[in-house]
């Protein structure tokens, strides 16, 4: 976890969060003066569930795993943090504690921004406040849809959904090297790692995807989408 500043300014930071666009020059300066940059190695924990939340984490580069540590040491992977995402757990505004953990999947460069600063910006800039509300709402919607998927879809539907998520949201390509293990893919879709392997093979047999270890290729996207939607 090095501490040199590698990003010289928020203003120049090409990967800024959508909502930062609502800030004035001086507000960005405030942000820039109050951020702390850190680099994480794969596997390192960036935020720990249950710990006090005093900072938001802005992901500059790399990928991270956002997950809830549930019962019996079982994790549930909520999503994948990708560059220019601002990670703020909902616990922050309720009991000032992290409601999930975040760990680096690749080398990650992140900026920590104090909530005092964020709250000040919310207070003084209504558009920024709306942006925060929108961001929270988008995440809530995603949680709702996840809830439906997990309760109403069968394993093939859930796995198909996860594969589409990686193709469309994470890698933006139908051929990719998935960064998650089968175990983790299971933690994301609520299935045992053995089931992930089996369903993946089923999808391969029916000619929908091709998977060889970490490499996954979507062959018939329409069919995959159908499987994902039908459940």
Partner DNA sequence: AGGTATAAGTGATATTTGTCAATAAAAAAC
Partner DNA sequence: GTTTTTTATTGACAAATATCACTTATACCT
Question: Using CB under 8 A as the criterion, which residues of the chain lie in contact with its own copies when the complex forms?
Answer: 68, 70-72, 74, 76, 78, 90-94, 99-100, 119, 122-124, 126, 129-130, 132-134, 136-141, 143-144, 146-148, 150-153, 190, 230-231
Q: Is 209 in the site for DNA (CB under 7 A)?
A: no
Alpha-carbon 103 to chain mean position: 10
Answer with the entry of its own copies, DNA, none that 10 interacts with (C-beta below 5 to 8 A by kind). none
Q: Which of residues 154-173 bind DNA (CB under 7 A)?
A: 154-156
Say how far apart CA 1 and CA 40 lie, in whole Å: 5
State whether residue 205 is helix, strand or coil.
Answer: helix
Q: Which is nearer to its own copies, 5 or 74 (CB)?
A: 74
Q: How far apart are CA 153 and CA 116, in angstroms?
A: 41
Distance, in Å, from the CA atom of 27 to the CA atom of 118, rounded to the nearest integer, reads 10
198 binds DNA (CB under 7 A): yes
Q: Count residues contacting DNA (CB under 7 A)?
A: 20
Would you say 10 and 28 are in contact if contact means Cβ atoms under 8 Å apart? yes
Residues of this chain, 120-159, that bind DNA according to CB under 7 A: 154-156
Closest to DNA by CB, 138 or 148: 148
Q: Are 7 and 35 in contact (CB under 8 A)?
A: no
User: For DNA, which residue of 138, 181, 207, 226 counts as binding (CB under 7 A)?
Assistant: 181
Tell me phi and psi for residue 108, to 5 degrees: -125, 135
Beta-ladder partners of 96: none
CB of 59 to DNA, least distance (A): 22
Q: Is 27 helix (H, G, I), strand (E, B) or coil?
A: helix
Q: In whole angstroms, how close is the CB of 151 to its own copies at the nearest point?
A: 4
> How many CA atoms lie within 13 Å of 130's alpha carbon, on the beta-carbon side?
6
Applying CB under 7 A, the residues found at the interface with DNA are 154-156, 181-183, 190-195, 197-198, 200-201, 211-214
């Amino acid at each position: 976890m090095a501490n040199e500043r590698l990003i010289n300014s928020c203003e120049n930071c090409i990967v800024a969060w959508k909502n930062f666009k609502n800030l004035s020059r001086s507000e960005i300066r405030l942000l820039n003066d109050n951020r702390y940059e850190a680099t994480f190695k794969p596997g390192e924990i960036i935020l720990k569930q249950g710990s006090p939340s005093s900072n938001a984490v802005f992901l500059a580069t790399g990928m991270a795993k956002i997950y809830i540590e549930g019962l019996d040491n079982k994790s549930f992977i909520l999503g994948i943090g990708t560059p220019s995402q601002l990670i703020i757990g909902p616990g922050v505004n309720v009991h000032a504690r992290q409601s999930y953990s975040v760990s680096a999947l690749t080398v990650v460069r992140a900026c920590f921004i104090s909530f005092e600063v964020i709250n000040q910006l919310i207070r003084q800039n209504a558009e920024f406040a709306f942006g925060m509300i929108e961001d929270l709402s988008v995440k809530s919607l995603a949680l709702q849809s996840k809830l439906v998927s997990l309760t109403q879809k069968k394993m093939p539907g859930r796995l198909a959904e996860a594969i589409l998520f990686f193709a469309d949201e994470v890698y933006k390509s139908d051929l990719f090297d998935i960064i998650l293990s089968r175990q983790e893919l299971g933690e994301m879709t609520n299935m045992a790692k053995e089931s992930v392997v089996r369903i993946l093979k089923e999808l391969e047999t029916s000619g929908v995807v091709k998977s060889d270890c970490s490499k996954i290729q979507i062959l018939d996207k329409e069919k995959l989408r159908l499987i994902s939607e039908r459940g």
